[in-house]
Amino acid sequence: MKGKNHLNYLKNKMIKYLDGKKIVLLGFGKSNKAVASILDEFGIDFQVRDKNDCSEEISNFKNSKVDFICGEKYLQNLEFDIIFVSPGIRPDLSEFDDSLQKGAELSSEIDFFLKFCPTKNLIAVTGSDGKSTTTSLIYEILKKSGKEVFIGGNIGIPIISQIEKISPSSYVVLELSSFQLMSCNINPKIAVITNISENHLDWHKNFEEYIDSKFKIFRNQGKNDVLVCNFDNEFFHKICSSCKSEIRKFSLKSVVDNGCYLDNNDIIFSKNETKKIVLNKNDIVIPGNHNVENFMAAILSCIDFVSVDDIKYVAENFKGLEHRIEFVDEINGVKYYNDSIASSPTRVVNGSLSVFHENIILIAGGYDKNLDFTNFAKIVCDKVRILILIGQAAGKIEESMGKVSSERKPKIFRSNSMVDAVSLAYCNSLKNDVVLLSPACASFGMYKNFEERGNDFRKCVLNLRKVIRG
């Protein structure tokens, strides 16, 4: 089914599902705004509820009757047929109990999309680190091969807003956070888990719940589906024990069959004891072994649909995403890098601190997600000359640094703002130093998100250059 016939069929299915239902959107961020646009296109009435006042948005809707309830009591009296929850709202809140017992359906933008996704060519990516880069690599490789491919989820524009462009022959690549996986029912043709480490323990009840949310990405898969996962990660065997699909492994440390591994600097794809070189590690433009892992995961996701030449082209031309060890400027022989995405200690240790080995001035800190900084502190002592701490977690990080038994420890400064942190870095830098924003913490409290934090760092560095030039 193609063209207008396919589109009319899709619209009719969605309208039939929504029509006559009492619908509420809880939280009015990017994902639920995209759901609202679909509802308005179809002329479906709905209600919006948010802790913050967003009622000025009513002017955006032309075809639907929309009510706004905002403020502290936005979760009360949820008597609806469909409740669309934003990713930041837990799906197990007690406020949902009465509605669910009466037959209400709990949904989300991702779940809504999956219910009506026109194609079975679905690749879904999750993990504690590397999700966005791996998702983008898969997208770029498929696009280079000539496939019609769409990207969304926790990256780019909401995927539901693209649904009318997707055909049965299209490919869809989704990056999914643990929050999104908690409130969706997914069965991808190919699932990817880049790695698992402690993260978001300020939101999840415990680490086990966080792991379980990640495992949802493959729980509905069958024997004809594929799971790509990290053989080097400590949770690999736990993943295997509950997986029904074909497992493809990637490893920097071991030779694996049905997967990718390193032989000297060559990335080898091995299946049924047949081996072929896909590319050389040095072909990959973006730095660090963590990005070699991301590339291996992307290769195993795409290898059935693309050529080695397509993969190599992307390796040689993909320069990475913003806020991921992003070069900003060089001032008086000192290089400044923005790694604002690094919002957990493991992300910093396995990412930026594995790329740079000495002469490091590190800006770290932010919102505390109840994570352990012990190993982070040990690595910082080994590699960092000056540590500048910002945000709520500054004290916790400094306390962890004090517990490290090492003769080599960085000089520690505290800062109240990014502009002050960049100024401190400049004043204490020497030629050939690297000034690195790699926070190991979330941005909340100081910024809306990691993008805003990274943009502020970039702005401060560029302003510093202007001041120096006079």
Tokens of 36: 């609202």
Amino acid identity, residue 360? I
User: Which pairing describes strands 274-280 and 266-271: parallel, antiparallel, or unpaired?
Assistant: antiparallel
CB-based contact 410:386 (threshold 8 Å): yes
With both helix axes pointing from N to C terminus, report the angle between 289-302 and 131-144 in degrees, rounded to the nearest 10.
50
Place of tokens 């308005």: 40
The DSSP secondary structure of 312-369, one letter per residue, reads HHHHHH----TTSSEEEEEETTEEEEE-TT--SHHHHHHTHHHH--SSEEEEEE-B--
* 53 and 132 both lie in a single domain: no
Query: From the centroid of its chain, how far is CA 298?
Result: 15
How many whole angstroms separate alpha carbon 136 and alpha carbon 250? 18
* 373 and 460 both lie in a single domain: yes
Domain count, the chain: 3
How many whole angstroms separate alpha carbon 278 and alpha carbon 65? 55
For the chain, helix, strand, coil in percent to 5 are: 40, 20, 40
* 96 and 133 both lie in a single domain: no
How many whole angstroms separate alpha carbon 256 and alpha carbon 268? 9
How confident is the model at residue 394, as a pLDDT?
97
Q: Is the pTM of the predicted complex or chain greater than 0.85?
A: yes
Amino acid identity, residue 124? A
53 in a structural domain: yes
Tell me which H or E stretch contains 456. helix 450-469
With both helix axes pointing from N to C terminus, report the angle between 3-18 and 109-116 in degrees, rounded to the nearest 10.
130
Dihedral sign, Cα of residue 434, residue 413, residue 379, residue 320: negative
How many whole angstroms separate alpha carbon 315 and alpha carbon 349? 23
CB-based contact 382:358 (threshold 8 Å): no
Burial class (CB in 10 A: 0-12, 13-18, 19+), 246: middle
347 in a structural domain: yes
Q: Which of 84, 107, 130 is the last residue in one of the domains?
A: 107
* 174 and 103 both lie in a single domain: no
224 in a structural domain: yes
31 in a structural domain: yes
* 156 and 255 both lie in a single domain: yes
How many whole angstroms separate alpha carbon 227 and alpha carbon 190? 6
Burial class (CB in 10 A: 0-12, 13-18, 19+), 70: middle
Q: Which of 53, 83, 107 is the last residue in one of the domains?
A: 107
Phi, psi of 131, deg, nearest 5 = -60, -50
* 332 and 297 both lie in a single domain: no
**Closest of 247, 113, 106 to residue 173, by C-alpha:** 113
CATH of the domain at 51: 3.40.50.720
Can you give the residue range of the structural domain that contains 293? Answer: 112-317
Q: Which of 107, 142, 159 is the last residue in one of the domains?
A: 107
How confident is the model at residue 467, as a pLDDT?
87
CATH of the domain at 440: 3.90.190.20
How confident is the model at residue 58, as a pLDDT?
87
2 in a structural domain: no
How many whole angstroms separate alpha carbon 181 and alpha carbon 183? 5
* 144 and 286 both lie in a single domain: yes
**Closest of 90, 82, 89, 86 to residue 106, by C-alpha:** 82
Tokens of 457: 């760092």
* 137 and 22 both lie in a single domain: no
* 208 and 245 both lie in a single domain: yes
How confident is the model at residue 78, as a pLDDT?
93
Tens of pLDDT along the chain (470 residues) come to 456 677 888 999 999 999 999 999 999 999 999 999 999 999 999 999 999 998 888 889 999 999 999 999 999 999 999 999 999 899 999 999 999 999 999 999 999 999 999 999 999 999 999 999 999 999 999 999 999 999 999 999 999 999 999 999 999 999 999 999 998 999 999 999 999 999 999 999 999 999 999 999 999 999 999 999 999 999 999 998 889 999 999 999 999 999 999 999 999 999 998 999 999 999 999 999 999 999 999 999 999 999 999 999 999 999 999 999 999 999 999 999 999 999 999 999 999 999 998 899 999 999 999 999 999 999 999 999 999 999 999 999 999 999 998 888 999 999 999 999 999 999 999 999 999 999 999 999 999 999 999 999 999 999 999 888 65
How many whole angstroms separate alpha carbon 238 and alpha carbon 216? 13
* 171 and 295 both lie in a single domain: yes
**Closest of 20, 396, 13 to residue 202, by C-alpha:** 396
417 in a structural domain: yes
95 in a structural domain: yes
* 94 and 121 both lie in a single domain: no
* 99 and 121 both lie in a single domain: no
How many whole angstroms separate alpha carbon 357 and alpha carbon 272? 38
How confident is the model at residue 3, as a pLDDT?
61
How confident is the model at residue 357, as a pLDDT?
85
Residue 271: how many CA atoms within 13 Å on its side-chain side?
Answer: 11
How many whole angstroms separate alpha carbon 441 and alpha carbon 320? 21
How confident is the model at residue 1, as a pLDDT?
45
How many whole angstroms separate alpha carbon 128 and alpha carbon 453? 20
CB-based contact 363:388 (threshold 8 Å): yes
The DSSP secondary structure of 121-158, one letter per residue, reads -EEEEE-SSSHHHHHHHHHHHHHHTT--EEEEESSSS-
CATH of the domain at 178: 3.40.1190.10
CB-based contact 213:184 (threshold 8 Å): no
6 in a structural domain: no
CB-based contact 32:23 (threshold 8 Å): no
How confident is the model at residue 29, as a pLDDT?
93
